Amino acid sequence: MDKRNVIVTGAGRGIGRAICVEFAKEGANIVINYSRDAEGAEITKNLCEELGVKAITVAADVAKYNEAEKLFAACEEAFGMPHILVNNAGITKDNLLMRMSEEDFDKVIEVNLKGSFNCTKLAVSSMSKKRYGRIINIASVVGLSGNIGQANYAASKAGLIGLTKSVAKELARRNVTVNAIAPGFIETDMTLNLPDEVKSAMLSSIPANRFGQAEDVAKAAVFLAGEAADYITGQVISVDGGMHM
């Protein structure tokens, strides 16, 4: 990964931070995107720099195309255009469909799906020209199976899987691979406040009998960006302890 430029969206904490650190261990230049959590992004930056690589933080709401443009411009100015893009930024606004507002449906689609579209669109032209690119979309097991109370989130992640496969087909000849990771239940701030009964029901559905860690997802992302995965494209890799088979 030496001299590879990596953009990771939503990297001020959680899985995004772990992905940055794992790529830093491989020697890549790291672009840490965040929307509001400047302090968190700075912590991610320090963790990367301690590993001896260059890193920058860039504030941008990836759901807005003009802000995503600023993210790519900052990457280009610091290191050149990205070789690797990890679309990780994501939100939840859970509710049963009967109670879900139109606004909460739209917001989740805007960040999780449209945000990934925006960044992918901005990445592909230089990747195609270079005949090299690795795009990794962080989807979810819920995008494969659906989930009560997550119609918006599941739809956004299922959409992301469709985006992954379509762009993979469009770009395979240019040596640009596009894959998705479908994490199961990962212990981060996103899952921290779920009620205990929900957590124990989840645990009983995981054959590995443990929750995942952000590092479990990060290692899969580095694998998909590395040489060992050169002939893998359009795939969804579950990182879920066997939760969804």
Binding status of residue 238 toward ligand NAI by CB under 6 A: no
Binding status of residue 118 toward ligand NAI by CB under 6 A: no
Tokens for 11, please give them: 């990297």
Residues forming beta bridges with residue 138, ordered by sequence position: 181
The residue (of 76 and 187) whose beta carbon lies closer to ligand NAI is 187
Residues 131-190 that bind ligand NAI (CB under 6 A): 138, 140, 183, 185-186, 188-190
The residue (of 209 and 227) whose beta carbon lies closer to ligand NAI is 209
Residues 8-67 that bind ligand NAI (CB under 6 A): 9-10, 12-16, 33-35, 37, 61-63
Catalytic, 153? Answer yes
Binding status of residue 91 toward ligand NAI by CB under 6 A: yes
**CA 18 to each of CA 45, 93, 129, 132, 151: distance values in angstroms, whole numbers, following the listed order:** 11, 23, 29, 24, 27
106-133: burial string, b at 16+ Cβ within 10 Å, e else: ebbbbbbbbbbbbbbebbbebbbeeeeb
Inter-residue long-range contacts of 203-206, CB under 8 Å, 24+ positions, other chains counted = 205/243, 206/240, 206/241, 206/242, 206/243
The residue (of 128 and 191) whose beta carbon lies closer to ligand NAI is 191
- The residue from 34, 65, 153, 231 that is catalytic is 153
Q: Phi, psi at residue 42, to the nearest 5°?
A: -65, -40
Residues in contact with ligand NAI, counted by CB under 6 A, come to a total of: 29
Tokens for 81, please give them: 């255009």
Binding status of residue 216 toward ligand NAI by CB under 6 A: no
Closest C-alpha to 150, from 116, 104, 111, 186 = 104
Single out the residue of 24, 85, 90, 216 in contact with ligand NAI (rule: CB under 6 A): 90
Helix (H, G, I), strand (E, B) or coil at 161: helix
The residue (of 37 and 215) whose beta carbon lies closer to ligand NAI is 37
Question: To the nearest whole angstrom, how small is the minimum distance from the Cβ of residue 235 to ligand NAI?
Answer: 16
Q: Phi, psi at residue 80, to the nearest 5°?
A: 105, 175
Positions that interact with ligand NAI (CB under 6 A)? 9-10, 12-16, 33-35, 37, 61-63, 88-91, 111, 115, 138, 140, 183, 185-186, 188-191
Please list the active-site residues.
153
